[in-house]
Amino acid sequence: MNSDRAKPWKIIHRKREFGQDEFHFASCEEAIAWWRQNPPGPLVEEIYFYNFTHWNVSTPIPGRTGNAAFIVCGGMTHVFRNPHYDPQAYREAVEEKEWEELYYRKTGKEWQHSEEPDREKQSSVNESGDNSLDRETCLKMFELQPGFTKKNLREAYLRAVKMNHPDKVASLAEDFKQLAERKTKRINQAYELLDGSLK
């Protein structure tokens, strides 16, 4: 027998363009305890709570106002909005995904998440015939206009790093920390690309 079928309670974290994560549980108590210990990150927009049993269960739902019990009806699916969902973080994650897909289409290689970008790979993108798109993305990231100076770039870079540093979200869910780390690395890569264009 499939072990998941023996667990009639299920929680799904829906992340729209990023798919969904499924978690199976043997009881409502187990599901709620896991939910409390694993709050969804900023990219999860909705939480689907499935009760595949024939019984109605009264339980407090994590994140809901007050401690009023919620009736989880047998054979029903209940949808909850994630209070930790961050539209800005989601947009940035989508933008990063699009950036990586563009890079792969142009080079046939994976985007390198490192503090020091591979200049050879950057050149491959620049020589691929669509340098303006890469440059435009970096300019938007730092809110710069064409004709910026090294001083403008450095000030914008420091502001961006300060706003997105992983230390700012060290006490939050793991998704927040991972997103901040990816964003900081991408900021470094964008800085290198724009700084190199001034030489």
**19, 156 Cβ separation under 8 angstroms:** no
pLDDT, residue 1, reads 44
**What are the pLDDT digits (tens) for 102-148?**
767 766 777 655 434 444 444 444 443 333 336 778 888 888 888 88
How sure is the predictor about 4, in pLDDT bands with cuts at 50, 70 and 90?
A: low
Mean pLDDT computed over every residue of the chain: 77
CA-CA distance, 199 to 146, in Å (whole number)?
Answer: 15
As to burial, measured by CB atoms within 10 angstroms (0-12 exposed, 13-18 middle, 19+ buried), residue 93 is buried
How sure is the predictor about 33, in pLDDT bands with cuts at 50, 70 and 90?
A: very high
Those residues whose C-beta lies under 8 Å from the C-beta of residue 159, and which sit 6 or more positions away, are: none
Instruction: Return the amino acid letter for 72.
Output: V
Angle at 47 between CA 45 and CA 48, to 5 degrees: 135
**What are the pLDDT digits (tens) for 41-61?**
889 999 999 999 888 888 888
Pair of tokens at residue 103: 């890079």
Between 22 and 61, residue with greater pLDDT:
22
**What are the pLDDT digits (tens) for 64-97?**
655 556 888 888 889 999 988 988 888 888 877 8
